[in-house]
Amino acid sequence: MSSHLAPHLLVKKYGGTSVGSIERIEALADRLVRETQNGPPPIIVVSAMSGETNRLIALAEKIDPDYRGPAYDMLIASGEQVAISLLSMALKKRNINAQPMLGHQVGIRTDSTFAKARIQTIDVEPLIKLIANGIIPVVAGFQGVDADDNITTLGRGGSDTTAVALAAALKAHLKPQGGDCDCEIFTDVPAVFTADPRLVQKARELKTISSEEMMEMAALGSKVLHIRCVEIGAKHDVKIHLRSTFEERTGTWIVPGTAEQGPHNMQLNIEEPVVSAVTHDANTAVFTLFPVPAGPQFLASLFQNLAAKGVVVDIITSSETAEGTRLSFSVTKEDIPLSKQVLKTALTANIKTELAEGRAKISVVGVGMRNHPGVAARFFSVLATQNVSVQLVTTSEIKISAVIDGNDLERAAKALHTEFELDA
Amino acid sequence: MSSHLAPHLLVKKYGGTSVGSIERIEALADRLVRETQNGPPPIIVVSAMSGETNRLIALAEKIDPDYRGPAYDMLIASGEQVAISLLSMALKKRNINAQPMLGHQVGIRTDSTFAKARIQTIDVEPLIKLIANGIIPVVAGFQGVDADDNITTLGRGGSDTTAVALAAALKAHLKPQGGDCDCEIFTDVPAVFTADPRLVQKARELKTISSEEMMEMAALGSKVLHIRCVEIGAKHDVKIHLRSTFEERTGTWIVPGTAEQGPHNMQLNIEEPVVSAVTHDANTAVFTLFPVPAGPQFLASLFQNLAAKGVVVDIITSSETAEGTRLSFSVTKEDIPLSKQVLKTALTANIKTELAEGRAKISVVGVGMRNHPGVAARFFSVLATQNVSVQLVTTSEIKISAVIDGNDLERAAKALHTEFELDA
């Protein structure tokens, strides 16, 4: 890409393990020296040293587990501040002119939702100025600044969000000159797989995946990338290259829209597969309430109460029986105590509550499903052959999900992976 | 002071031990609740949790022990960021509306001498605005921001400097309305003593001391307050109250000018004592060079070389002998390796170097010396009676210092303390 005359930049994001110790930071600096010799000018984004954010959160929770506000965000933002300072020093030692930049110095403006702020605008001028002077910006991920100059933090996956948002802003800035900006995200896994390789040994690496599929996978339990950063990439047409922190080889390109629009040097999927990946979430629980009042009123107020407490309800089904309406919904394991609390106060005495723990959600995802009918039939027939009973189901244009018993998860995942021709 | 109609504010500075753990932070918050009920509106300044700055410096030095620049200051400034966040949270838990403020948020502008920046201006508007809204600012000590928006740090004693500089700026702002702002500095010691109580058991606490004397004491080895903050207090007419972190009682007022100008509620020294305190510095070493070229050229270049390496030379004497010029100078123990390095390259082979380690500097300080001749005679006569030999001597209008053998220090300190009527 460096052969282009038009300005091409590259945002490179490294997670906490990449800067987890001084030795790791030195190794990362060595790698950056090698990579920046041939590549486009980089903008580096880093997370806090691994364990540091948790250490800071533990300090805060010792004082007040419920407090969220400016002081909390200022506290946990210090982790990234330490990491960018140390990496900049390691680069300077290697005669690379690097400058650490905090959220407010980059001009990453957010709203004031502390602990999970959303980026509103980015002023790329400070970055462009540094790059024009041959200086590599080392940007603190996960943080921004609100209209009152308070430090804010972006919540889970925040550093990935910072990286993709920076790439989006830089791309918009460079586009009129014919330039571009991609985003590399270095993680503990070398690529996006057709299934979790720990569960399905025959899982393959994907060379490319559409951001639409990636968003579904993230929503369905894939931990590889947070849905927010994929969303921003999709919305602003930023190509994301997910790569290994530990190996210097290509990983998976997450490309806006469908796979055919993918970038240079990318293996195109001439014959688009029906299903791109099998995804799962092992931490699912199902509440079943019976009998509940018929009609939307009861449901609306129940789910409002759950949302107010921060419980994310995933799949909801309700069925009418002769004895009354039966309502089931799934939540993640972590939300069980909160859900119980809400149900205790929201339900009248005559409604019985059952909790099924140890459940798992298994899904198949693929933009190809749009053009290939009969995927649902194949999906359920595989589960039937494997003797896996299905408790809840939900489908969209490009995915099918089922909540099943956790003990059946591995068997179901392997069988679906084979059925949809994903095996290596 | 709260009975005044004119606006009176109070800057309160707490060191690392006051915020050394979550328990200490909670205890400090309790104390602040009590103190702010009756006192003037406070502006709180805190240092990093004890040990934290050293931990961060150790990380930096593992990468590059020699680097000083923006990344270094950004790194070590994170310590105060953590402390103000946690203290603000602890205050909020007690229904006190507190807001953590970083150097750039307060508007503490410094020069760009990283690791030991000097404060140039402070914009008090952000603080005044908070206070007017009933919010207590919790300000990060030790840090500021330069003209390019880089985070800077103020070097040793930096948080004390922040506190006194804030008080100075607030005082200047309030003066036209007849208001005022003092500065309380809470430390591990309860007051300024007439001598170090660990050395001289009969040492007494001073109710008041002039900033002029305090500056001499700091320069002469007293660790109680850094000379920079006393200087700022003297220059901007800020009264500093040095108090104990651990006990809730008054300590020592350090008042600009001479003691008679002291503030309200202060015991005045009707009969000013000749000597206010005996001060010492146990970490002194003396280099003696012989023979050195006569004339100022050699001295100028030698001391320039030492200064360039950051060696602080304290007392210098040179004496002409029949065999040539003999030059002696004292440095602190820590600067011995650097000094040796400089001497090795700066000296020609014929100049012999002697190093006397384990030396101590003993001093008497007092603005009363101006009006009482004969102090020097009493000083040397005490040392003679105690059989203490004097290696180097320096005097000013308000102090006499002598470098002696470290083994003689305690005996000399006790005898001088008695001679100048300081014993309890």
User: How far is residue B32's CA from residue B245's CA, in Å, rounded to a whole number?
Assistant: 12
B171 φ, ψ (degrees, to nearest 5): -60, -45
Residue A284: pLDDT band by 50, 70, 90 thresholds?
very high
What pLDDT does residue B262 have?
Answer: 42
Residue of B89, B94, B112, B149 for testing the chain A interface, max A β-carbons within 10 Å: B89
What pLDDT does residue A401 have?
Answer: 92
> Taking CB atoms and an 8 Å cutoff, what residues of chain A touch B90?
63-64
pLDDT 10s digits, A126-174: 999 999 999 999 999 999 999 999 999 998 889 999 999 999 999 999 9
Q: Is the peptide bond before A291 cis (omega within 30 degrees of 0)?
A: yes
User: Which residue's structure tokens are 């010799």?
Assistant: A37
Cross-chain residue pair A74–B62, CB shorter than 8 Å: no
Give the residues across from A285 on adjacent strands.
Answer: A331
Nearest CA in chain B to A148: B105
What pLDDT does residue B265 have?
Answer: 35
Cross-chain residue pair B86–A102, CB shorter than 8 Å: no
What pLDDT does residue A263 have?
Answer: 41
B56 Cβ under 8 Å from any chain A Cβ: yes
A67 Cβ under 8 Å from any chain B Cβ: yes
Q: Which of A34-43, A269-278, A363-372 has the highest mean pLDDT?
A: A34-43
pLDDT 10s digits, B81-94: 999 999 999 999 99
What is the CATH code of the structural domain delimited by A278-419?
3.30.2130.10
A153 Cβ under 8 Å from any chain B Cβ: no
Range(s) of chain A covered by CATH 3.30.2130.10? 278-419
B130 Cβ under 8 Å from any chain A Cβ: no
Range(s) of chain B covered by CATH 3.40.1160.10? 8-187
B105 Cβ under 8 Å from any chain A Cβ: yes
A388 or B265, greater pLDDT: A388
Q: Please state the rounded mean pLDDT for residues B274-279.
A: 91
Cross-chain residue pair B92–A98, CB shorter than 8 Å: no
Which among B71, B81, B88 has CB closest to A89?
B71
The complex scores an ipTM of 0.80
What is the CATH code of the structural domain delimited by B8-187?
3.40.1160.10
- The 3-state secondary structure of B308-344 reads HCCCCCCCEEEEEECCEEEEEEEEEHHHHHHHHHHHH
A104 Cβ under 8 Å from any chain B Cβ: yes
Q: Is the peptide bond before B291 cis (omega within 30 degrees of 0)?
A: yes
Distance of CA A398 to the CA centre of its chain: 18
What pLDDT does residue A267 have?
Answer: 41
Residue A100: pLDDT band by 50, 70, 90 thresholds?
very high
Q: Please state the rounded mean pLDDT for residues B327-343.
A: 91
What pLDDT does residue A272 have?
Answer: 62
CA dihedral A58→A64→A65→A70, nearest 10 degrees, is -80
For A198, other C-beta atoms within 10 Å of its C-beta total: 9
User: How far is residue B216's CA from residue B239's CA, in Å, rounded to a whole number?
Assistant: 17
Report the percentage of chain A scoring pLDDT > 90. 68
What 8-state DSSP symbol labels residue A48? P
pLDDT 10s digits, A218-240: 888 888 888 889 999 999 999 99
B148 or A272, greater pLDDT: B148
What pLDDT does residue A69 have?
Answer: 93
Q: Please state the rounded mean pLDDT for residues A196-201.
A: 93
Residue of B86, B101, B148 for testing the chain A interface, max A β-carbons within 10 Å: B86
Cross-chain residue pair A75–B64, CB shorter than 8 Å: no
B67 Cβ under 8 Å from any chain A Cβ: yes
User: Which residue's structure tokens are 């004082």?
Assistant: A63
Q: Please state the rounded mean pLDDT for residues A279-295.
A: 91
Which among B56, B89, B151 has CB closest to A60?
B89
B284: buried, middle or exposed (CB in 10 Å: 19+, 13-18, 0-12)?
buried
User: How far is residue B93's CA from residue A61's CA, in Å, rounded to a whole number?
Assistant: 12
What pLDDT does residue A370 have?
Answer: 80
What pLDDT does residue B70 have?
Answer: 96
**Nearest in space to B328 (alpha carbons), one of B352, B304, B344:** B352
Q: Please state the rounded mean pLDDT for residues A328-344.
A: 91
A36 Cβ under 8 Å from any chain B Cβ: no
B247 or B355, greater pLDDT: B355
What 8-state DSSP symbol labels residue B69? S
Nearest CA in chain A to B73: A85
Give the residues across from A42 on adjacent strands.
Answer: A10
User: How far is residue B232's CA from residue B217's CA, in Å, rounded to a whole number?
Assistant: 15
Is the pLDDT assigned to residue A269 strictly greater than 60?
A: no
Q: List the single range of B189-193, B237-241, B414-418 with lowest mean pLDDT.
A: B189-193
Q: Is B195 in contact with B418 (CB distance < 8 Å)?
A: no
Cross-chain residue pair B86–A75, CB shorter than 8 Å: yes
User: How far is residue A255's CA from residue A230's CA, in Å, rounded to a whole number?
Assistant: 9
Which among B64, B89, B105 has CB closest to A63?
B89
Cross-chain residue pair A93–B63, CB shorter than 8 Å: yes
What pLDDT does residue B307 have?
Answer: 86
Cross-chain residue pair A89–B100, CB shorter than 8 Å: no
What pLDDT does residue B346 have?
Answer: 85
Report the percentage of chain B scoring pLDDT > 70. 95
Cross-chain residue pair A74–B102, CB shorter than 8 Å: yes
What pLDDT does residue B12 have?
Answer: 97
What pLDDT does residue A250 have?
Answer: 93
pLDDT 10s digits, A26-84: 999 999 999 888 889 999 999 999 999 999 999 999 999 989 899 999 999 999 999 99
What 8-state DSSP symbol labels residue A205? B
What pLDDT does residue A379 have?
Answer: 92
What 8-state DSSP symbol labels residue A274? S
Q: Please state the rounded mean pLDDT for residues B113-125.
A: 93
Is the pLDDT assigned to residue B316 strictly greater than 90?
A: no
What pLDDT does residue A30 have?
Answer: 96
CA–CA min distance A154, chain B (Å): 17
Amino acid at B63: I
For chain B, give the mean pLDDT: 90
What pLDDT does residue B368 have?
Answer: 81
Is the pLDDT assigned to residue A2 strictly greater than 90?
A: no
A27 Cβ under 8 Å from any chain B Cβ: no
DSSP line for B244-299: ESSS-S--EEEESSSGGG--TT----SS--S--EEEEEEEEEEEEEEEE-SSHHHH
What pLDDT does residue A39 have?
Answer: 86
Is the pLDDT assigned to residue B397 strictly greater than 50?
A: yes
Is the pLDDT assigned to residue B159 strictly greater than 70?
A: yes
Interface of A with B in 332-371 (CB under 8 A): none
Q: Please state the rounded mean pLDDT for residues B285-292.
A: 93
What pLDDT does residue A6 have?
Answer: 64
Is the pLDDT assigned to residue A187 strictly greater than 60?
A: yes
Q: How many residues are given for chain B?
A: 424
Nearest CA in chain B to A98: B71
CA–CA min distance B95, chain A (Å): 12
pLDDT 10s digits, B223-273: 888 888 999 999 999 999 999 988 889 999 999 875 444 443 334 444 567
- The 3-state secondary structure of B113-133 reads CCCCCCEEEECCHHHHHHHHC
Which among B67, B78, B99 has CB closest to A82?
B78
What pLDDT does residue A3 have?
Answer: 40
What pLDDT does residue B271 have?
Answer: 52
Residue A324: pLDDT band by 50, 70, 90 thresholds?
confident
Q: Is A44 in contact with A136 (CB distance < 8 Å)?
A: yes
Residue B6: pLDDT band by 50, 70, 90 thresholds?
low
What pLDDT does residue A385 have?
Answer: 93
Q: Please state the rounded mean pLDDT for residues B56-81.
A: 95
User: How far is residue B49's CA from residue B39's CA, in Å, rounded to a whole number?
Assistant: 26
User: How far is residue A225's CA from residue A218's CA, in Å, rounded to a whole number?
Assistant: 6
B25 Cβ under 8 Å from any chain A Cβ: yes
B95 Cβ under 8 Å from any chain A Cβ: no
Which among A78, A100, A149 has CB closest to B81?
A78
